Amino acid sequence: MTAETNTLEEAKAVLSALKDKNDDTIDFYNNWAENYDQHVAVLDYNAPRLAATGLSSHFTGDREAALVLDVACGTGLVAKQLKEHGFKHFVGIDGSKGMLDLAKKTDLYQDLKQCMLGKEPLPVQWGLFDVVVIVGGLSVGHVPVTVVRELCKAAKPGGYICMTTRNIKGNLVFKMDLELLLKQMEEEGLWSCVKINQVKEWERASSEEEEGYIPGAVYIYRKL
C-alpha cells in the first residue's frame, strides 16, 4: 500500500466517523485539524478552488481593497485560493478552535472569530463585506440553512455571497431546503442569482454508498 493510498484510507475513515457525530462535531474538527489539509488534498477536494474561481470570474470591484468574510473558514483553504485571484483582506469565522489556530498560522486573516454557526449570530457588522463565502459548511449536521440569511446581511449592497454544498444521498433534503431558501430570498428582493454551477467531480467518494467522485454545487448571489 502506497503512502497516498494509506492517507486516502485514513481520510475516508475520518469522514465515515464524522457521520456518526452529533453534538460533538466541534470536538471532532478540533481533533482532525492537524491532518485536515493532508486528508482533503488526497480526497481531491475541489470546492475551495471552484468557489474562488467562480467568484473571481464575476467580481467586478477592487480586489486589493475588497473585504472578504470567510465563514466556516477551517484552516484557510478558501482564503489561500482567493489570494491567488488578488484578494487580500480576510476575516475568518469557525466553530473549531483547532481549525482557527491553523488558519492563524497562514497570516492571511486580519481577524479570526470563533462562533457556533446557527447557535450564535455571526459576530460581524452587517453590510460590511464585499464578499461573503462559505465553503463546505452548508450540509446536514453542520451549518443550518437558516444561516444563509445572516450571510446576506453581512454583505454590503452589491456584494457577492458564495455558498457550496454536496449533492449526495445523505444531503439531498438539505440541498433542496437550501435551494428553496435561496429562491425565496431572491423573490423577496434581497439578492439576485449570478451563477449556479453544478459540479460532477467535487471530491473523491468517501463512503461505500458512492463510487468515483461525488457531485456538488456552487451558488453565487449578489446582494441588492
- Structural domains present in the chain: 46-223 (3.40.50.150)
31-51 average pLDDT score = 93
- Residue 168 CA to residue 210 CA, distance in Å, equals 8
The C-alpha atoms of residue 114 and residue 96 are separated, in whole angstroms, by 7
Say if pTM beats, i.e. exceeds, 0.85: yes
Q: What is the pLDDT of residues 52-62, one digit of tens each?
A: 999 999 999 99
pLDDT of 3 > 60? The answer is: no
> pLDDT band at 209, cuts 50/70/90?
confident
Q: Residue 4 has what pLDDT?
A: 57
> Residue 117 and residue 7: Cα distance in Å, rounded?
30
What's the CA gap between 64 and 70, in Å, rounded?
Answer: 16
Q: 5 falls in which pLDDT band (50, 70, 90)?
A: low
Collect all residues with Cβ–Cβ distance below 8 Å to 176 and sequence separation of at least 6: none
| pLDDT of 137 over the 90 cut | yes
Half-sphere exposure of 34 (CA within 13 A, CB side): 1
pLDDT confidence bin for 152, thresholds 50/70/90: very high
For residue 18, is pLDDT > 90? no
Mean pLDDT of the residues in the chain: 92
Range 147-165 burial, b when 16+ CB lie within 10 A, else e: bbebbbbbbbeebbbbbbb
Say yes or no to pLDDT of 15 above 90. Answer: no
